[in-house]
Amino acid sequence: MYIRSEEDIIFLRENALLVSKTLAEISKMIKPGVTTKKIDLIAEEFIRDHGAEPGFKGYGGFPSTLCTSVNSQVVHGIPSDYYLRDGDIISVDCGTKYKGFYGDSAYTFGVGEISPLKNKLLNVTKESLFIGIEKAFAGNRTGDIGSAIQKFVEGNGFSVVRELVGHGLGKSLHEKPEVPNYGRIGRGNKLKDGVVICIEPMINAGSRSIVIEKDGWTVSTVDKESSAHFELTVLIRPEKCEILSTFDFIEQTLNIN
């Protein structure tokens, strides 16, 4: 678990801002008839135009700038020639690398008119993220974050993916500590002032069970029910964390109140 210097935090903040603006840029394109590969190309161009590199491309052999995960795909979907359809939901996870540090954020979008169940899934998943963020401060433990997310999600009839977790962020894309979206109060790693973590609930409409597809990357629900994913980067502080990345740019673009 790394305690970040003020200089480190400046660079992490710059990455968080860029990754947030990249997601806002591609949010303009998320509509029926657009391929996930086209969205990926726009994201890469935007990141490079701002002097940074895609954080995911080439990471562990991943081939693309974005992870685009549609409907029953949970995370790590590879952009392709798939055309988005009315009623789809798509999780877009984006990473940047700039000045030796990483940015990482994700948002799940509805495509056109989505079903009431998918709408509820998106709202509950996003709200669970902010409920978890409220527990992210120095002296608390990762289990406090996970417990809060799990209680809220399961109380709304959905399930929490357990094999995939949030993580520390810095000069590597995935650092300690792991930040599960389930757990018990008072358990897990104790959070320290100056640590930067990504909190990212991955929530399924049906069973929590997942499978890795034949491409070796895409994670999907076993029962083919929908899944949603939201992620923000936060800086641990003594009484309340500072949220470094933001959904504000996305929601201004989409006119979401």
Averaged over 24-37, what is the pLDDT? Answer: 97
Per-residue pLDDT of 174-214, as tens digits, reads 999 999 999 999 999 999 999 999 999 999 999 999 999 99
Indicate the pLDDT class of residue 255, thresholds 50, 70 and 90: confident
Q: Report the chain's mean pLDDT, rounded to a whole number.
A: 97
Its pTM stands at 0.96
The pLDDT value given to residue 257: 65
Indicate the pLDDT class of residue 1, thresholds 50, 70 and 90: confident
The pLDDT value given to residue 256: 78
What percent of the chain clears pLDDT 70, i.e. is strictly above it? 100
| Extents of the domains making up the chain | 6-253
- Whether 152 shows a pLDDT value over 80: the answer reads yes
The pLDDT value given to residue 17: 98
**H, E, C per residue of the chain:** CCCCCHHHHHHHHHHHHHHHHHHHHHHCCCCCCCEHHHHHHHHHHHHHHCCCEECCCCHHHCCCCEEEEECCEEECCCCCCCECCCCCEEEEEEEEEECCEEEEEEEEEECCCCCHHHHHHHHHHHHHHHHHHCCCCCCCEHHHHHHHHHHHHHHCCCEECCCCCEEECCCCCCEEEEECCCCCCCCCCECCCCCEEEECCEEECCCCCEEECCCCCCEEECCCCCEEECEEEEECCCCCCEECCCCHHHHHHCCCC
Per-residue pLDDT of 53-99, as tens digits, reads 999 999 999 999 999 999 999 999 999 999 999 999 999 999 999 99
The pLDDT value given to residue 206: 97
Q: Give domain 6-253's CATH number out of 3.90.230.10, 3.20.20.70, 3.30.9.10, 3.30.365.10.
A: 3.90.230.10
